[in-house]
Structure 1
């Protein structure tokens, strides 16, 4: 009986998939208040986020989503950007 067919060996595919998945994941849990406020300020300056003072919310313009927390907005934006770039 001849040796195994190299086309049937999927172990390298599994490892490549795991590496691709790890490279594509974005860690959003490490956003502290200061980092979030800095990111939101940058997004406001870039017209990506619009503050609505009378409603005390921040609007993420590309998605149309409203947030009442700069940390929530920062986490959302990082995930949204990662999803869009994937």
Structure 2
């Protein structure tokens, strides 16, 4: 299962390098695309949830790193929840 990283740029121009245990995130996010915060969060929850389930299917247990990464993303996103029209840009897949 190919581990991958993806970088996102938040509305305040800060960036975060994110982890996924599976390349399934490519089905949900695209480099260079800007997403409304709510859409980005929906896509990220689905992608990391699916990635964790792929780990479960292969190894018999969910991926705690994927869920930890999702928690970090949700914590950062909460800072912008009151920002009108907040957008997140997927900078690149590493």
Q: TM-score, normalised by structure 1?
A: 0.29
> Whose helix fraction is larger, Structure 1's or Structure 2's?
1
Larger radius of gyration between Structure 1 and Structure 2: 1
> Whose strand fraction is larger, Structure 1's or Structure 2's?
2
Q: TM-score, normalised by structure 2?
A: 0.26
Query: Greater relative contact order: 1 or 2 (C-alpha under 8 angstroms, separation 6 or more)?
Result: 2
